[in-house]
Structure 1
């Protein structure tokens, strides 16, 4: 308050978790220009604060699933920040720690962290992650890193996630996917490997136009060829799509790992080096697994074990999966809309971040109870998404400093300008 004057004062702002994680409200949307708005840092600050708070809770519990989408940004959140980028690291650390102490926070990095990276054969490991070989070996020795795979037998139902950004006005891709996963079509019964699946798809795409019976319910050869191109681009020569999972070698299926998530666990899923279609595939598959876990789909497998009361999912670059331009038939968009519209009652909470809020599907932002507005430009603030903000706040948004946000939450009668401290986990700069 009174910034830049002799009367400048800092006040601690308490945020009621019931309006952030539920049950009163849920979901957080963070927007702002890349780099200057520190969107990821603010989301991580809130999650670290919540982890400390809920470690003391007895009746309720929270776990976190975080997607790393940029370089090594979130691949060392269990290690302390050394503030090496500062001119005087020791002084900077002391300053930041004083801010955490003022908020009655420990200033320690995340605990109970596990990392999941896409599987790649030895010699090609650098193709799947930005983690170096030494870092991978160190994490494996600590028991905090696994490599995830997808098998045809257990993961064919997630194939539709590969088509999340494909326009399908005639729903022919949808028809092919249903043919494959419903389990009743004799053409796709008995298949157990991705190679056998690709061979079967190739067989359908090789038919001539004369062989196409042109029945009203017949899928055309051209549709099969389009399907083949998309599938081959995604899974051919990719070690992540395998025939089996060797758990003894540190390999896993993400769905199996998510089933076992416990109180205060932090799962970091690395998708930064995957192509956009495979990023969407992994993200969509994990979201579906979390949703099914909270719906009780895995109760027979879990037995008496109970999942955390709430599971927070954080994804940066939300515009890739839930933009206004995403096809309505997108399986991933359906999953995100389910989470934002019905997740609060189940305990599934979405923390999403993007550069431009105006690009996001209105049903996603409309169902978020907490909004964080970071620095942006005047073109963005003139869109209808900012229509409800008074002019004084729109002007502020174009001048905010890094680490500053305008917060909109049911607890506050108007937007509140806040500042949050630098991250306490390891940073990769330059």
Structure 2
């Protein structure tokens, strides 16, 4: 019986060996020369002379060999550079050898062309950090090699799907990241850059959101909810539109497979593989799991509300004004208004200040001329003398703000009713709240975004202290079922946290969250067209980066230094549905593919 088992095992090994030979074979060997030295993190290899063998930046290869004592070793790497050359020293030689520059003349003898590639180490099975010293054979990486290289060190319970790459047979291979390094508590924050309109930023963010919600349903450790801000366009608001036309998974796959566009057909196998990894949009996006919040219809703020949410500081109040209007005097006035009128309405504040100006003017002798006892600055608000010019400036800006923010500000009552309070505390694990701020001007977007951040931060702080209630909207609310972690998605991150000295009133709260969010379980999924325009501290605190197609000038910025060689050049020609990603627990980037959002099927039908 044992002999029969041994024979069967030998036959299986032979079959596996033949399959490997059929699909890959040796595609080259390690090159060790003065011009192509190996380092602990990179190595070169020459490529088999075969015009049908295609080597591209972003491809994944495996090196196999033995070290001292017969220990088998496997090294998996990603190709960064590829070049082709011959032994001809220059184009001059080529010119003379082709009929003295006659391009129509057939070349009698084809010179051999050598292809050389540079790869970056993703994983060594022996875990040594040293250069390769032997001319070992190189293969295309198998399905198993790729998964082991990128996820072999990630516990199964922490694996979250972030996209797909392809193996030697052009079959999709799932790529996993570590949940705890994206959403806390070991690491946090995910940044996505890429040109608009090329199915990169928001489309990939939607796939990541679906994967995160799926993870929350599959793992009890994945206690997470998502708050997504719809900043522009309508992608987030259409996330469930596919259900209006399709009633089951089979209908979607059939539509994808029979679509006229190759990129859409490609999504069929990616969605099928996503389904195999438990990402089912029908199940994830059930009606009770998604809530879309519209300004005016679903949420508004009274003045007393923004004072309370801002913890009696002008943090949220100053979001109502243009950044260039806020100087020290203006901010002092805002603090004074909060001190004196925290329980007033927006309209009431305006009336009270005008009355105070009139009384001050009367005491100063009328007609705005001060007496000897008073100066032009003697309008006291919050116990602080405020210059009349600053107050006049405030009132003008205040009128403009109230006019522009009519959708979200309740002018006549200090506090909004319970039906119009943004219900962040009702978020549950596996749910997504989509807050639509697209109809609002920039000042309104900032106000809603910061108010939400403040609420989430306050709830998570209370949960960390094991509290079951927290004071919001001047009453105690139950937070016992609130998620342990929250991910916040926002597009146009560069407008909220711009790089350099450009002032944004919301910039420093975002920097603070980037620095402290990991320990709270608060993570930021930020997207923008150009990472070069996002604050450096925010990017430095991100555990994971993804980039779709970007402009050749943009890719030169230091924000993309994690992409090397020709792989960086490939970023400028990435196709829709492709990104290059780097994760904290991956030793090298990976070229990812992701399926199109399903609502695009309806738009393109």
Alpha-carbon offset, residue 246 of structure 1: 4.7
> Which residue of structure 1 lines up, in the alignment, with residue 258 of structure 2?
91
CA contact 2:549–2:572 (8 Å) conserved in 1? yes
Alpha-carbon offset, residue 394 of structure 1: 2.1
CA contact 1:80–1:108 (8 Å) conserved in 2? no
Aligned residues: 391
Q: Structure 2 length as normaliser, TM-score?
A: 0.59
- Within 5 Å, give how 1:66-85 maps onto structure 2: 66-80=228-242
> Which residue of structure 1 lines up, in the alignment, with residue 546 of structure 2?
372
- Within 5 Å, give how 1:57-72 maps onto structure 2: 57-72=219-234
CA contact 1:235–1:241 (8 Å) conserved in 2? yes
Alpha-carbon distance between aligned partners in 2 of 1:295 and 1:91, rounded to the nearest angstrom: 50
DSSP 3-state at the match of 2:211 = helix
Kindly indicate whether structure 1 or structure 2 has the higher relative contact order, using CA contacts under 8 Å at least 6 residues apart. 1
**Does 12-21 or 209-218 show the bigger shift?**
209-218
> Which residue of structure 2 lines up, in the alignment, with residue 230 of structure 1?
397
CA contact 1:23–1:344 (8 Å) conserved in 2? yes
Which has more radius of gyration?
Answer: 2
Alpha-carbon offset, residue 9 of structure 1: 4.5
CA gap 1:12/1:388 in 2 versus in 1, 3 angstroms: closer
- Within 5 Å, give how 1:332-347 maps onto structure 2: 332-347=506-521
Alpha-carbon distance between aligned partners in 2 of 1:9 and 1:60, rounded to the nearest angstrom: 29
Q: Check if 1:115 corresponds to 2:292.
A: yes
CA gap 1:420/1:229 in 2 versus in 1, 3 angstroms: same
Alpha-carbon distance between aligned partners in 2 of 1:369 and 1:292, rounded to the nearest angstrom: 23
- Within 5 Å, give how 1:126-205 maps onto structure 2: 147-156=298-307, 157=310, 158-163=316-321, 165-166=323-324, 168-169=326-327, 171-181=328-338, 183=339, 185=340, 188=341, 191-203=343-355
CA contact 2:510–2:538 (8 Å) conserved in 1? yes
Alpha-carbon offset, residue 295 of structure 1: 1.4
> Which residue of structure 2 lines up, in the alignment, with residue 419 of structure 1?
593
Q: Give 1:389's match in structure 2, choosing from 563, 571, 574.
A: 563
Q: Once the two structures are superposed, what CA deviation does each residue of 1:388-416 show, in whole Å capped at 9, x if it has no partner?
A: 53232321111111111110112221111
Alpha-carbon offset, residue 219 of structure 1: 1.9
Q: Give 1:308's match in structure 2, choosing from 462, 483, 489.
A: 483
**Does 360-369 or 198-207 show the bigger shift?**
198-207
Alpha-carbon offset, residue 296 of structure 1: 1.5
> Which residue of structure 1 lines up, in the alignment, with residue 439 of structure 2?
273
Gaps of 5+ in 1: 120-145
- Within 5 Å, give how 1:251-290 maps onto structure 2: 251-254=419-422, 257-290=423-456
CA gap 1:314/1:201 in 2 versus in 1, 3 angstroms: farther
Q: Alignment RMSD, CA only?
A: 3.2
> Which residue of structure 2 lines up, in the alignment, with residue 317 of structure 1?
492
CA contact 2:210–2:279 (8 Å) conserved in 1? no
Q: Once the two structures are superposed, what CA deviation does each residue of 1:229-252 show, in whole Å capped at 9, x if it has no partner?
A: 2222121371421125455xxx42
DSSP 3-state at the match of 1:226 = helix
CA contact 1:165–1:326 (8 Å) conserved in 2? no
Gaps of 5+ in 2: 1-53, 60-166, 311-315, 362-367, 464-468
Alpha-carbon distance between aligned partners in 2 of 1:393 and 1:180, rounded to the nearest angstrom: 55
Alpha-carbon distance between aligned partners in 2 of 1:267 and 1:224, rounded to the nearest angstrom: 39
Alpha-carbon distance between aligned partners in 1 of 2:602 and 2:501, rounded to the nearest angstrom: 32
Alpha-carbon distance between aligned partners in 2 of 1:151 and 1:278, rounded to the nearest angstrom: 14
CA contact 1:60–1:308 (8 Å) conserved in 2? no
Q: Structure 1 length as normaliser, TM-score?
A: 0.81
CA gap 1:98/1:88 in 2 versus in 1, 3 angstroms: closer
CA contact 2:185–2:520 (8 Å) conserved in 1? no
> Which residue of structure 1 lines up, in the alignment, with residue 193 of structure 2?
31
Alpha-carbon distance between aligned partners in 2 of 1:59 and 1:88, rounded to the nearest angstrom: 35
- Within 5 Å, give how 1:196-215 maps onto structure 2: 196-203=348-355, 208=368, 210=370, 212-214=375-377
Bigger strand fraction: 2
CA gap 1:89/1:6 in 2 versus in 1, 3 angstroms: closer
> Which residue of structure 2 lines up, in the alignment, with residue 125 of structure 1?
none
Alpha-carbon distance between aligned partners in 1 of 2:493 and 2:357, rounded to the nearest angstrom: 34
CA contact 2:425–2:479 (8 Å) conserved in 1? no
> Which residue of structure 2 lines up, in the alignment, with residue 18 of structure 1?
180
**Does 146-155 or 401-410 show the bigger shift?**
146-155
Alpha-carbon distance between aligned partners in 1 of 2:496 and 2:213, rounded to the nearest angstrom: 27
